[in-house]
Amino acid sequence: MPAQNIDGVLLSQQLRGEIAQRAARLSAEGRQPGLAVILVGEDPASHVYVRNKVKACGDVGFLSKLEKYDADLSEAALLDRIAALNADPAIHGILVQMPLPKHIDPSKVIEAIATSKDVDGYSVLSAGELVANLPGFRPCTPYGCMKLIETTGIDLRGKHAVVIGRSNTVGKPMALLLLQANATVTICHSATPDLAYHTRQADVVVAAVGRRNTLTADMVKPGAVVIDVGMNRDDAGKLCGDVDYAAVAEVASHITPVPGGVGPMTITMLLMNTVESAERVHSSSQHCPSQATGMEPKPGVA
Ligand code: NAP
């Protein structure tokens, strides 16, 4: 029987509906969630991503503050802007669109964002919170993958999950989230000698490589859940993932398509992290008004 499609568009719509309700409650109390998006330079893809994020904010009733700068903006000036946004009580999340121009050190910029507003979850502190099972913001793409896996109804406890890819933004946090959910986790990467040996034992496979046809049907255990994070182009220029979708769908129990799977979830989880951040400020200010200043305690995760 062909696999069930895991519909990221539908799940995103549902979650964004819930986020909009939470935002409306906060706004009614004068606490509208706010996301600041900083874009430096003229990278065309970045402009599209930023436009989508700003539109998504408007759709769920957030304040969005878009700051666009020329490619020659100095690193010091960018760090000054981040410091100002860290102190701005109307802003609950700060996102700096990558890539940055070469003269700006991206890690300095990421680390300059207050952990309490690091809704991308990319900072070393946020990563440490994930490793230590502490509340904090989870990177949006793996967080979205976990929500997609949840819809299958699979209990991850004791299941074997294989993550292909070990980037700091996708593969590693994905593996940690699966571990937190009590899966037994294997991480594969470019130096893994026999990828198929690992994936064939997996109840859940997450492919986050950036190379099409990395996961083919002969590499998948019948009934496995397959999550495809990859974004590639096929020979005809059409968007495709890392997974040979048509063939793997004949073997897996559940599979995400590309497009329409993980992609829409990434922005949705950014909105989720932002509304959570705003709620945290709200609840902490009810107990201690002096903390509603952008120096609020670290936010938690749903
Ligand atoms: P990345 O930083 O380039 O990492 C790719 C990972 O794949 C690396 O860990 C690499 O191993 C591993 N790898 C490369 N070739 C391999 C092979 N033959 N076998 C096993 N592992 C291999 O990429 P990323 O940022 O994690 O993104 C991965 C993909 O997801 C890309 O296509 C990206 O566009 C996509 N993505 C999609 C979304 C979305 O919203 N849908 C969000 C983020 C990323 P080494 O570490 O050994 O080099």
Q: What is the mean pLDDT of residues 169-198?
A: 98
| Binding region for NADP(+) | 165-167
Q: What is the mean pLDDT of residues 213-223?
A: 98
The proportion of the chain whose per-residue pLDDT surpasses 90, expressed as a percent, equals: 92
Which residue is closest in CA terms to ligand 1's atom 4? 167
Say whether 140-263 and 24-114 share the same fold: yes
pLDDT in tens, 77-103: 999 999 999 999 999 999 999 999 999
**Is 296 a residue whose pLDDT tops 50?**
no
Q: 24-114 in CATH: which number?
A: 3.40.50.10860
Asked if pLDDT for residue 112 goes beyond 60, the answer is yes
Distance CA 203, CA 159 (A): 6
Structural domain boundaries in the chain: 24-114, 140-263
| pLDDT at residue 291, as a whole number | 39
User: What's residue 287's pLDDT?
Assistant: 55
**pLDDT value at 216 more than 90:** yes
Which atom of ligand 1 is found nearest the CA of 258?
41
Cα dihedral sign for 170, 245, 148, 92? Answer: positive
Cα atoms in the Cβ-side hemisphere of radius 13 Å centred on 167: 13
16-20, 102-106, 199-203, 291-295, range with the lowest pLDDT: 291-295
Active site residues: 53, 97, 120
Assess whether pLDDT exceeds 70 at residue 290.
no
Determine the pLDDT at residue 134: 96
Domain 140-263 architecture: 3-Layer(aba) Sandwich (3.40)
Q: What is the mean pLDDT of residues 53-73?
A: 98
Closest by alpha carbon to 174, among 138, 125, 203? 138
**Structural element, H or E, at residue 163:** strand 160-164
Instruction: Report DSSP state, residue 296.
Output: P
Does residue 5 have a pLDDT over 50?
A: yes
pLDDT (0 to 100) of residue 1:
74
**Residue closest to 148 by CA, chosen among 75, 208, 226, 238:** 226
Over range 64-73, report the average pLDDT. Answer: 98
pTM for the full model?
A: 0.94
Among 231, 232, 269, 270, the mutation site with the greatest number of ligand 1 atoms within 8 A of its Cβ is 231
d(CA 74, CA 52): 26
- What pLDDT was estimated at residue 53? 96
Cα 24 to middle of ligand 1, angstroms: 37
